Structure formats: C-alpha cells, structure tokens
Chains A and B, each alone.
Chain A
Amino acid sequence: MMQRGSGRRPSQAGGMGFHGPAGGFGMPTQKAKNFRGTLRRLLVYFRPQWASLIIVLVAAVLGTVFNVVGPKILGLATTKLFEGFLLKLEHVPGASIDFAYIGHILLILLGLYITSSIFMYAQQYVMAGVAQRTVYRIRRDVDEKLARLPLKFYDSQTHGEILSRAVNDMDNISNTLQQNLTQLITSVVTLVGVVVLMLTISPLLTLVVAITLPLSLIATTVVAKRSQKFFAEQQRALGELNGHVEEMYNGHKIVKAFGRESNAVSRFNELNDTLYDAGWRAQFMTGMIMPLMMSIGNLGYVFVAVIGGIMVTQRTIAIGDVQAFIQYARQFTQPITQLASLSNTIQLTIASAERIFEFLDESEELPEAADALVIEQPRGAVAFDHVRFGYDPQAPLITDMNIDVKPGQMIAIVGPTGAGKTTLVNLLMRFYEINAGRILVDGIDITRLRRGNLRRMFGMVLQDTWLFNGTIRENIAYGREEAKEAEIVQAAKAAQADHFIRTLPESYDTVLNQEATNISQGQKQLLTIARAFLADPEILILDEATSSVDTRTEILIQHAMTELLKGRTSFVIAHRLSTIRDADLILVMNHGAIIEQGTHEALLANGGFYADLYNSQFAARVPTEDVLTS
C-alpha cells in the first residue's frame, strides 16, 4: 500500500482557507523566477544535517520498496492456495493446500511489512527534526538580516510586506519540508517500483494499465486549467469581500451615524454572491479530481480483472499475480495524482523561498570599519559640515547645511506638521548615509564611530512612542540593560511616571498588552521619557506634547521634558513659543527640507517663511489677548 499525506497540517496562514484534501491542487501557481538557483540555495540549508537527510532518504526508499514488493510476494501465496484448491476440486488424491509454503510466505511478508513500517516511522521521525531545524535556521537568518538592513529598507516597504515574507512564505516552506519532501521521495519510489514489478509480472497487463495513464493526465490538466481560473476569481472575490467587511466594521460608527446600514448589507450581499459563484465552481473542480482519478483507477482495475482472468484460464499467468496486479493498478494512479499536486506545491514553495532569499539579499548598512572609534566621555557637541542629503540623491532636501552646536545648546525645529523631523533623526543617528559633507559628534566624523556607540549618545522621545509587549519595568529598562531596580524607579520618578505606574493593578509588573491600549497616550509618553532618563544620553531628540494628550498629563510631560533637557544638547521639535524663543538656533523645515536657520529675532527680521509661520500661528491668537487680563 502506498504512502498518503500524513495528517496534513492545516495552513497556519489561514488566509487561503478554501483548499480541501486535494492540497494545493488547482491553485493558481506562482512561478519562481529562478527555480534552479533557488532550489540549490535552499539545499544549502540542509547541509548541516546531511547525515540525517541521508537516513531519511534511505529509510524512505527502503520503507517504500519493502511495501511495494508486498503484493507480489502475497501473490505467491494466493497462487499456491489456488493451485491446491484446483487440485482438490479435481479430486486429485492426497491433494491439499500447501500450508507450510503459504505460512512461510506469510511470515516473510510479516517481516517485510514490519520492517517497512519501522523504516517509514524512522523516516518521518528524523525528517521532523531536519525540517523544523532547517526552518529554524532560515527564520533566524531572516531575523538577523532585519538587524543589518538600513532604515531605508524599512521606510520603502510596508510592514505587511515584510511580515508576509517572514510569516506566510516561511509557513509554506515549513509545511513543504515537513510533509511534501518525503512524499516526493515515496511517490517516485512507489511509481518506479510498481512499474518495475508490474513489468516482471506481465508486460501485457502493464500495457493495459499504462493505457489509463494518458487518461489521468488529460483529466488532471483539463480540470487543473479550468479550476485555476475559478480559483483566481474566488481569490479576487474573497479579497474584495474581506476589504468591504474591514471597511464597514472599522467605520461602523460612521455607517450608523449616517444611517447607511442597509447599503452596507446590500453591497455585502452582492460581493457575497460573486464569491459564491466563483467559489462553488472552484470547489466543484477540486472536488471532481478525486472521484475522477478513482474512476480511472477502477477502469484499470476492470481491465486487469478481465484480461488477467482470461490469461489465467490460458495458464499464461498465475492467479496470485493477477491479485498482485490489481493492487498495483490501484497504487499506480495515486502517486501520479500526488506528483501533479506536489509539483504545484513545490512551485509555490520555491517561489516563497525565492522571496525570502531576495529579502536576505537586500543590501545592508555599510559595514563598520574594523578600527571604528568609541567616544568614552562624550560631551555632546554636534556639527554639520557642508551636509548634502536627499532620499533620492537627484532631489536633495538639504544642499549645504552647516551648523555648529555646542554641548548643552538647544536647537528648535519648526515647521508645518510632517515637515521632516524624521529626516533629522535619520541623519544624526546615521540611519541614513548623507550624500556629501560630514556630520561630527565631539569633532569626530560619525562614519568613523561604532554605530552602537553613536546611537547610545542620543536619546529619543518622540510622539509615536514605541513600547513593546512586556512589563512596564522591562520597557523602562530598555534604556539600559544593566539597570538596577532603584534606578528604574528613580527614572520613573524623574519622568513623573512613578505615580501613575503605582496606581496600576500590578504596578511596575503590569504587562502592556499588544497595542499598549491599557495605558493612555500621555502615559506612554511618560514611559518613553523615563526610558530616556535611564539611558542618560548626552544628546536628546524630542517631540513636544501634542493635542492627543489631556491638559494635566501635558503639564506632567512638560515638566519631565524640561527636567530631562537640563545639561544636555537637544534637538526639539517645537510647538510652544517659549521653547522656540529660548532656542539657541531654529531650523525651519518644510516638505522635509531645511529652508531657513537662525535665532528667533534674526529669522523674524528676515521676513521669510518663519516670519509667515510665526504670524499665522501665534499672531492669530490676538483676539485672545484680553483673555487673561479680564
């Protein structure tokens, strides 16, 4: 008997949903651009486990061979039995069934089958380790790659795309390695073994069975071709329907407010009907494959029974051989269907592997020089020396920037929302490489510094706070690994966060949930400030509080930030007039470019963009002037 798909694990991605027991059969195939190259590269991952892999290979081959030989040997017993039976029928004196012979044969078979099962088990057992460890290594490589990629990569791709590679594509590989690889081996061995054994029994009957082969090929290709079309339609309809559901649920409040529930439902029903039309056709096509193949198998069965029967009467073949042949004919179509479906799955897997390898081949951050410097006692001086930069070098945002910031000075960045504060962070922390000129920290070109050392000199407190799924203590301690409990609490106190933390049910051990929705936006900002206190950097980049924070928390944040700024060089994305006027230097940014720089007075006197901005933002408050005096 043959090896079937051992407990196909349901797809973990979940998105595809529909495909049934026929596996990836009939699904639209994504072709890899470079099949051979990708395959070769995938094989490299197996290298550390080549010994195990050989065991798998040998076990699979032996297990299958022993199994395939079975029916032929069993046939010998049947033949003997039939001979004895015929003799008895003809009342030949002393005729009886040769039980010694049959028993002997059956014992051999018993041994054969047990050995086969042991080999099969061994093969799957070892393969589990090989497959999962291989996937583990690829996953690790992907994760390590993430750390070496420049920020440019992250900014040019959506998280969804990167995640889809790391999750869905990885899943495809994992499933294929676990199940389909050994299936491929056993299918091929079964097919070859069955053909060889059939030929040794009777070339004529083999020919009869072979006639059904083109039939199965035609059936599979015709159905597969048609079903691909319906599957593609189904995928599209499903995508549209899911999109509609997402929109209507996310915008539920609006749907309700504007009384458009019935429109939403009727649009949904339209999409649902389209999905149904494509869906049942695709399902029908896939559903047809199994019975079709079974029927073709039955056809072979009938032919073998009839022709084999006639041949037995003519004494050109033994009855046991016909019985063996019937079993083989049944086994003949199955590996063919399986291989057809496998080739599809393997295509998909290689395409997935290719996407992962493309990712692993993305160009990385410039490597650090072997003799990269470390500033032991940083002071916090920052200088831009003829800096030229643009995300697209053809369209520079900064053409010739020169600033000289002394330790402890404050630089205010001013401009309309989205004016390009990220650009500044990107350059200072060397997330992006500049096109020309130099950026110096304490007089040393930052490209000569160890990246980690450079970045540790900076602290970031931005509006889009980033906290991870872990306890509050862990999140604050992110600022410094070896921080002691007392230091963490002290940092929280300095950031005015200690009080609210202690009101939480688990205090410092409160676990922030996945979206950190169990604390407010303002509280998140306080935590990031605490983190910065603990990290104790020489230079700060910070965002002033925003409208999404209530007034009381805003005051807390303001106090904490003022405290944090003391004695540090700082770049402040400023919204408050007082901050701007106190700044040692103002950088005016618009559309990502630095368009003006200077002190408050100098810029006002200039009458440029800053003056306009100042007048529209703050002079518009004129009607409020009597407010406080009243």
Chain B
Amino acid sequence: MLRLMRFLRPYRPQIALILVLVFLQSLANLYLPTLMADIVDTGVVKGDTGYIIRVGGVMLAITLGGTICAIVGSYFSARVAVGFGRSVRGRLFAHVQGFSLHEFDQVSTASLITRTTNDTNQVQMVLVLMLSIVVSAPMMAVGGIILAISQDAGLAWVLAVAVPVLILVIILLMRNAVPLFRMIQIKIDKLNLILDESLTGVRVIRAFDRSDYEEQRFDVANLDLTDTAITVNRLVAILMPFMMLVLNLTTIAIVWFGSIRVNNGDLQVGAMIAFMQYAMQILFAFLMLSMMFIFLPRAAASATRINEVLDISPEIVDAPDAGPAGDQHGYVEFEDVTFSYPGAEEPALSHISFRAMPGQVTAIIGGTGAGKTTLVNLIPRFYDVDSGRVMVDGSDVRELTQKDLREKIGFVPQTAVLFSGTVSENIRYGNPTATEEEVRHAAEVAQAAEFIKDMDDGFDALIAQGGTNVSGGQKQRLSIARALVRKPEIYIFDDSFSALDYTTDANLRAALRQETGDATVLIVAQRVSTIMDADQIVVLDEGRLVGVGNHRELMESSPVYREIVLSQLSAEEVA
C-alpha cells in the first residue's frame, strides 16, 4: 500500500491543505466543549446572561468555520483520492499494454483485468477513508488529549487507562476476525463455483440424473459457509457493546473522580462536563479508526496485486539501435530456431529452419502440441527465441522496431477476436486509413460481404463486446477481412478456417489465392484438405521439423505426414 503512495506525489500541496483543513475542523469540534465549560463555569455560576450569549455567538462562528473547513476538505480529498485512482489505473493500463504475450500468460488475462479494475477501485476507496477518518482520528485524539490535560491534568489518567484498553481489544479482535473474513471469501467463491458448474453442466447433470448429488454438494458448501459466517459475526458482535461499555465506564469514572476533585476545589463543574465530552470524542475517533482494520487488509492485498503487475518489466522491448528492415519484401526465414516457454522442461520448438518466400503459400501442419501456433507467434515477435534467429526481410526480428515489423504482417489468430464497434470499424482496425471501397473489397474476399449485407445496418451494424452477436464462422471471416485490408507483405493464418463450413472454406481459399498475390502466406492447419495444394508444407512433430516439401513429396518422404493424411482422408477418399 505504501509503495503506491508515490502516485500521490503530484497532490502534495492538496494533501497538505487537506491536513490543515482537517486539523482546523477537529480543533473547531474540540473547542466547543471548552467554550461550553466557560458558559457553565463563568456564565451560569455568576448568572451572567450576556456572557452566555456572547460565548454562544463565538460557538456559532466556530461551528460555521468548522463546517466550511469540512466541506472544502472533502472537496479536495474527493479530487485527490479519485485522482489517485485515475493515476494508478492509467499507469497500470499503459504498463500492461507494453506487455508481451509471455507476461499475459504469466499473470493470466482474467487476473490482469481484475487488477486494473477492481483492485484499483479498492485502493481508491481506502484512500478516501484514509483522507477523512484516518487523518482526523489521530488529530482528534491528540487534540482531545491536549485539551483534556489543559482542562484538568489530574483526570487525564482516566483516559490513559481507557485508550490503551480500547486499542488492545480492537487489535485482539481483528487479529482473530480478519483471517475469518478471508475464509468467508474463499467459501463464497467455492459456493459460486459449484453453482456456476451446475448452470453450465445442467444438461449433463440431468442426463445422468444427478440433481440430488449436485444439491448435496451445494448444501455442504452452503452449510460450511453459513457456519463460518455465524462464527465470525458472533466474534465481531462483541466489538460494539464492549466499546460502548468502555465509553460509558469512562464517563462514570470521570464523574466520580471529577466530583472528588471538585470537592477539593481542583476542578470546576463546567470543566468536568467538557472533559467528559473530550473523552467521548477521543474514544469515538479510535472507534472510527478501528473500522479501517476491516478495509485495510483487503486494500493491502489489492495494492500488492497492483504492484506485482507494475514490477513486471516487459520482456520484449525494441533494441536501442533498432532500425527499419532492408529493401526485401516478404522474406521470412527461420534459422535453427529453438524456443521454450518459461519454466517448461522441453523446448516447444527445437532447431527449426525453413524459408517462406513471397508469392508462395507455406503451410504448417502437425498434431496438437506440435508447436504450430508457437512457430507463427515468433514471426511478429510475440515471443523471443532462445537460440537461432527469426529473419524478416533479411533482418533479425529483434533488430527491427516492433512497430515496423508488425506493420508488415497481417495476422489472423486461432480464436477470432472482435472489438465492440461497427463491422466496418472492426475491419478497419487492420488499416485505419482504408477507404470504404477497400473495406468492402476485403469483406468480399473474406466471404463476409453476404452476411454483413443481411445484418440490420450492414457495415454499420454494431458488434457486441466480445463479438457475441455474430457466429464463430462470421467472426473468423471478419478477422480475416481485418488482415486483408492491411495489404501486408506477410499473411499469417493460424488455423483460421476451422469454424467455416466446407463450401465457404473452399470459396474463401480460392478468393484468397488471388488476393494475396505476391505476398508471403503462412497457414497453420489441422485439416489436410485445407493445405494440400500449398507450395510448401512444413510438418512439425513435438516441436521438431520432420519434413518440408509439397504434398506429393511429403507423401513419399514423411511418415508423420502420411499418417496425418491417412487418418483424415481414408474414409472420404474411397468416395
């Protein structure tokens, strides 16, 4: 939490102002009982009505002043706290944008999302509380103690007993309760998981007639949660009554010992009443402070999670001497490339060498886990190789700026990702300067024109977040159009035709062949039929290259390739 405080640096003047304002406000609140004491000890005792009214006027002025301080203070603390949230959030998002895929794998996308949204809100909320309660509580306490002592040092020992007792109880209680609160969260998550599973699996549960079993599973978790919740709430139940008791006992003690002192002529009655009120204010300040203990652990956890992300420095950065590529266009070459995912025992790719040339289609085939996707991810430098080189247009990809490198590439990922916005905005994502005509053309080549026409607003139809209002096949086609409109030197299709039916697939491939012209095309595929007519086929098996050649050559030379072909085509081939 403290480390995040560096984001408060620009707000130092405002914070100083807030501290002053809170201090003035606390003073105002504390000064009222002193004046009250004057009313009693001077005005009432002497029966001086004029004095009473004069002091009353001063009290009114102080109340007003205190109010203004409080309102101005809460204005600044709102701006500081929410501004702090904005800075942390902005910094975090910008930082994450610099991450490579490796860092995303490391932290997980879902977790990064919660950290950027929920966790920043948590710390912001705690800062709000800090700027109001935490800052004012010690001021009230210290100010109250000073005034109480100045009013009557002889009674101050009552506070010296009450305050530590109060603090001790809060600490003891929280030490027991906080882990329990955490436990509750874990148990709620567990219960929600079971519920989520019984929603997604409803057909299977009913098919196997296991509703009773699921109910029982839920009930066990439900009871478990209930028991813990009861325990923790019963524990916390002691807090308030105990605090009230301390408060009230303090009052009684003040009156008793105060009376003795009044009798001895050491203390005035009004001063004693004022003293009682200080005691209330001081103890209340600690009470409010104790509420922080509930929020603080959560915020501290959030802060840690935010710092973890900020501490990750992106692995892939542009080399200081990175320059533009040579004059070549569309040459991709792997030179003895070996790559392993961090922490993996075996490399995902070992000693891969091949070249892909402009105007040619290079297909990559192999079983799951053979390393096909990994291989194409190395070309836009989503990951860096362990050894060897990936060359694009004659330069090592690490010697190019990421921007220059990626501008050459039209990438179509395995799972199509669309963004919220119109169809045309989504296609134009590949090339913001594309004309309407170019967007239309790209859609046609990608076999998307027809279904776009059928949508309510055509190219202006809105795509929902995550593309949930279009089918998987439609998403893939839009994602292909997005790459096409870029008119890149190098196309990468990572198993991008899987959700298309055979007819669309065939039409698309025919249209693509014309469109890609003298660009370099790399296609990752599962289905042999998709890639049989490629100029060059690269066969991968468990991260190793086991064959390069065209279909006919590989049928002769590569047993792995033959096995794949036979498993897929045997039945149909007879037809």
Contact = CB atoms under 8 A, between A and B. Distances in A.
Given A151-B203, A416-B501, A128 B230 contact: yes
A601 to B, nearest CB: 13
Contacts of B101: 252-253, 256
B4 interface: no
A340 B129 CA distance: 21
A469 B188 CA distance: 15
Contacts of A453: 209
B259 interface: yes
A198 interface: no
Interface in A1-46: 1, 3-4, 6-10, 12, 14-15, 17-21
Nearest to B245: A117
B532 A624 contact: yes
Contact of B564 (A78, A468, A551, A617): A551
Given A7-B294, A125-B234, A313-B44, A287 B77 contact: yes
B45 A86 contact: yes
Interface string A57-101: 000000100010010001001100110111011000000110100
Interface residues of A, number: 174
Contact of A283 (B70, B128, B498, B572): B128
A132 B245 CA distance: 27
Interface in B60-103: 60, 63-64, 66-67, 70-71, 73-75, 77-79, 81-83, 85-86, 89-90, 93-94, 96-101
Interface stretch (B47-55, B143-151, B152-160, B348-356): B47-55
B172 interface: no
Interface stretch (B117-125, B386-394, B434-442, B454-462): B117-125
A452 B209 contact: yes
Contacts of A309: 39-40, 43-44, 52, 56
Nearest to B526: A547
A163 B52 CA distance: 63
A218 to B, nearest CB: 14
Contact of B502 (A292, A455, A617): A617
B315 interface: no
Given A113-B252, A146-B198, A276-B82, A292 B44 contact: no
A298 to B, nearest CB: 4
Contacts of B59: 301-302, 305-306
A273 B569 CA distance: 57
Given A247-B466, A272-B86, A265 B94 contact: yes
A116 interface: yes
Given A167-B192, A245-B117, A143 B222 contact: yes
Contacts of B403: 259
B457 to A, nearest CB: 21
Contact of B117 (A1, A242, A620): A242
Given A86-B45, A287-B74, A249 B112 contact: yes
B247 interface: yes
A446 to B, nearest CB: 14
A140 interface: yes
B406 A551 contact: no
Contacts of A452: 209
Contacts of B563: 551
B567 A551 contact: yes
B503 A125 contact: no
Contact of B97 (A255, A323, A431, A551): A255
Interface string B524-546: 00110100110000000000000
Contact of B247 (A1, A84, A118, A127): A1
Contacts of B39: 305-306, 309
A192 interface: no
Residue with the highest number of chain A CB atoms closer than 10 Å, among B35, B39, B73: B39
B210 interface: yes
Contacts of B399: none
B508 interface: no
Interface string A250-284: 11111111111100110011001101100111011
B236 interface: yes
Contacts of A147: 211, 214-215
A553 interface: yes
Q: Report, as a range, how many residues of chain B touch the other chain.
A: 35 or more
Interface string A286-301: 0110111011001101
Given A258-B411, A548-B498, A17 B122 contact: yes
Contact of A143 (B129, B215, B411, B466): B215
A439 interface: no
Most buried by A among B218, B225, B255, B380: B255
Interface in B269-299: 269, 272-273, 276-277, 280, 287-288, 291, 294-295, 298
Interface in A121-146: 121, 124-125, 127-129, 131-133, 135-136, 139-140, 143-144, 146
B512 interface: no
A117 B238 CA distance: 9
Contacts of B203: 151, 425, 429, 431, 460, 466
A254 B371 CA distance: 20
Contacts of B225: 136
B36 A326 contact: yes
A468 B217 CA distance: 12
B208 A456 contact: yes
A552 B240 contact: no
Interface in B472-507: 473, 482, 486, 495, 498-499, 501-503, 506
Given A21-B133, A294-B70, A549 B368 contact: yes
A53 interface: no
Interface string B167-198: 00000000001000100110010011101111
A159 B255 contact: no
B417 A250 contact: yes
B420 A247 contact: yes
Contacts of A4: 240, 287
B207 A458 contact: yes
Interface string B213-244: 11100110011011001100110111111101
Contacts of B364: none
A543 interface: no
B259 A81 contact: yes
Contact of A102 (B211, B244, B256, B502): B256
A10 B294 contact: yes
Question: Chain B CB within 10 Å — which of A4, A14, A243, A283 has the most?
Answer: A283
Contact of B573 (A1, A174, A547, A625): A625
Contacts of B81: 280, 283
Contacts of A281: 78
A255 to B, nearest CB: 7
Contacts of B104: 249, 252
Given A21-B129, A252-B99, A551-B367, A305 B56 contact: yes
Nearest to B65: A295
B239 A257 contact: no
A394 interface: no
B406 A576 contact: no
Nearest to A521: B368
Interface in A604-630: 616-621, 623-625, 627-628, 630
Given A154-B199, A283-B78, A547 B367 contact: no
B78 A67 contact: no
27 contacts: A6-B240, A7-B239, A9-B294, A10-B295, A74-B251, A74-B252, A81-B269, A102-B255, A102-B259, A109-B252, A121-B241, A128-B233, A132-B229, A163-B192, A247-B419, A253-B413, A256-B380, A256-B402, A269-B90, A298-B29, A302-B59, A305-B59, A313-B48, A429-B207, A460-B203, A466-B204, A553-B368
**6 A-B pairs with the lowest CB-CB distances in the bound complex, closest first:** A291-B70, A550-B368, A306-B56, A124-B237, A550-B367, A17-B121
Given A136-B225, A243-B465, 10 more contacts: A81-B262, A97-B263, A113-B248, A143-B222, A151-B206, A245-B116, A249-B104, A254-B413, A417-B501, A451-B209
